[in-house]
Structure 1
Amino acid sequence: MPGKSVLFHIDDETRVATLTLNRPDKLNSFTREMHREMSEALGQIEASAARALIITGAGRGFCAGQDLADLDFTPGSMSDLGGLIEEFFNPLVRRLEASRLPIIAAVNGTAAGAGANLAMACDLVIAARSASFIQAFVKIGLVPDSGGTWLLPRRVGEARALGLALTGEKLSAEKAEAWGIVWRVVEDGELQQAAAQIASQLAQQPARAVTAIKRAIRAAATNTFDQQLDLERDMQRELGASPDYIEGVAAFKEKRAPRFEGL
């Protein structure tokens, strides 16, 4: 079972899973053990009947990225940061990107470094008004990782991405919403409820279509226009033969709410 630095539960009624980074005294910064616990938790969630996932942080922060205290800074030694990225952070963001589940980051405070990029690797970001996003890497002589150099310019454009990465400037939740990082900003006390409501709504959507939409939107970043048209055609062909499509059309004709069951 996952340990104390990562907590999760699945609501059997709504089929919404909530995963909480639980090192509040360290702003939920990652250690190797926390990565292992998160991987195990995600495995259990993905194998369950959950239809949506919320990722949030305990306490006053979402995630401050890597816990530098978990690295080796003894004289004469040098931590292999590339190895750390390859073993832990890259598999994590790849897993989120490939997940069948719609994933909501409920950012309840500081999202710094890899923590900011973890949030952007989710499908939707809901932020408390007091939340902030910081590409803090330059302040310790590093480059944004965990997908940051790919995700950030696609969310905010090259000029803003360079400005944030080169200065390490803190970005408020309101500006992050205006710039396209955040889907919605809510009052601090309303964050968890707002995230739960959106996740519950997504959990009721046709799961096959949700997964396909995620794949299609992500593929558009590298596909040509013709390739994207072909992908849309192939996806519609597959989804048009699914029970969810039949149910959706029937519900529309009968003027009732659809009951989607497929995973």
Structure 2
Amino acid sequence: MSNIIIDRQSTHWAITLNRPDKLNALSASIVEELIQAFDEAEAAHTPLITLQGEGRCFSAGFDMSEVEAQSEGDLVLRFIRIETLLNRIASSSCFTVALAHGRNFGAGVDLIAACNLRVAAPGSTFRMPGLKFGLVLGSARFARIVGTREAQRILETAATFDVEHASANGFIERVAGPEEHITVIEEALARVSALPAQSRALLRRALDTEQADTDLAALVRSATVPGIHKRIEAYLASSKKA
């Protein structure tokens, strides 16, 4: 059974994270499937991609259930592939729409941040605890969206912030439940078709703030500090006590 569902419609592709029993946590296999899906969508000149999650939330982030059996090298590679996925989404020529809901953590929040339009259902929450175990993943992109001071306030405490806070700081651009997704997609398609594809590409390049190499370097520096395995285990132990 695939970890993702791809609905290839004539107007857009709808990609659904399909691990509801694991809260759509990002295992190594789901990350590779997502990278391939975005590659295929771009090759097919798909104008728009929506990304959503099946079940109780969009994504609970990095799949911690696989940590114990993996070496430090395995873990570092997994984080690098997640960063590769984030860069792939953020730099895609396809217009990307995140349709989030529920309680979202870590790399799941980073997936939302990588999209062009970020939509969340009422009651959604977000938390990015990576720095609790010394990992810099998606921090710079989050800061480019909400501003450096706001990012520091949220990231240094790994604070949970709700959809109202996310709307106020610009992380979430629209609050809309599943019943409004059709309207959101129609409006996004109208936005995409407002310019010819070549003009959209020119605008994207002119306004591009992505720093793929810098973001990847920051991630690698943090992930390769010896002891990432023990730091994650300590974080998981403290989380259980909290």
Q: Residues of 1 paired with 2:192 and 2:147: CA distance? A: 31
Q: 2:88 matched to 1:95?
A: yes
Q: Taking CA–CA contacts closer than 8 Å with sequence separation of 6 or more, which of the two structures ends up with the larger relative contact order?
A: 2
**Corresponding residue for residue 22 of structure 2:** 26
Q: Residues of 2 paired with 1:123 and 1:81: CA distance? A: 28
CA contact (8 A) 2:45 2:94 kept: no
Q: 2:7 aligns with which of 9, 12, 21?
A: 9
- After superposition, the C-alpha distances for 1:182-238 in whole angstroms (9 at most, x for unaligned) are 11112x2434224322332234232222233222222498xxxxxxxxxxxxxxxxx
Q: TM-score, normalised by structure 1?
A: 0.73
Q: Residues of 2 paired with 1:49 and 1:79: CA distance? A: 36
Q: Residues of 1 paired with 2:205 and 2:180: CA distance? A: 27
Q: 2:46 matched to 1:53?
A: no
SS of 1:66 mapped into structure 2: coil
CA contact (8 A) 2:91 2:210 kept: no
RMSD: 2.3
CA contact (8 A) 1:137 1:143 kept: yes
**Corresponding residue for residue 112 of structure 1:** 105
- After superposition, the C-alpha distances for 1:148-195 in whole angstroms (9 at most, x for unaligned) are 221122222222211211211111111111101111112x24342243
Q: What code does the residue aligned with 2:54 have?
A: A
Q: 2:75 aligns with which of 67, 78, 81?
A: 81
Evaluate the alpha carbon distance shift between residue 57 and residue 112 of structure 1 in structure 2; reply closer, same or farther with a 3 A threshold. Answer: same
SS of 1:62 mapped into structure 2: coil
Q: Residues of 1 paired with 2:172 and 2:5: CA distance? A: 24
**Corresponding residue for residue 250 of structure 1:** none
Say which one has the larger Rg. 1
CA contact (8 A) 1:6 1:20 kept: yes
Evaluate the alpha carbon distance shift between residue 189 and residue 106 of structure 1 in structure 2; reply closer, same or farther with a 3 A threshold. Answer: closer
Q: Residues of 1 paired with 2:72 and 2:48: CA distance? A: 40
Q: Residues of 1 paired with 2:51 and 2:180: CA distance? A: 12
**Percent identity over paired residues:** 27
CA contact (8 A) 1:106 1:127 kept: yes
Evaluate the alpha carbon distance shift between residue 16 and residue 182 of structure 1 in structure 2; reply closer, same or farther with a 3 A threshold. Answer: same
**Corresponding residue for residue 202 of structure 2:** 212
Q: 2:175 matched to 1:185?
A: yes
**Corresponding residue for residue 196 of structure 1:** 185
- After superposition, the C-alpha distances for 1:34-82 in whole angstroms (9 at most, x for unaligned) are 11221222222222242111111111211111101122357xx545433
Q: Residues of 2 paired with 1:171 and 1:157: CA distance? A: 15
Q: What 5-or-longer segments of structure 2 have no aligned partner?
A: 212-242
Q: TM-score, normalised by structure 2?
A: 0.79
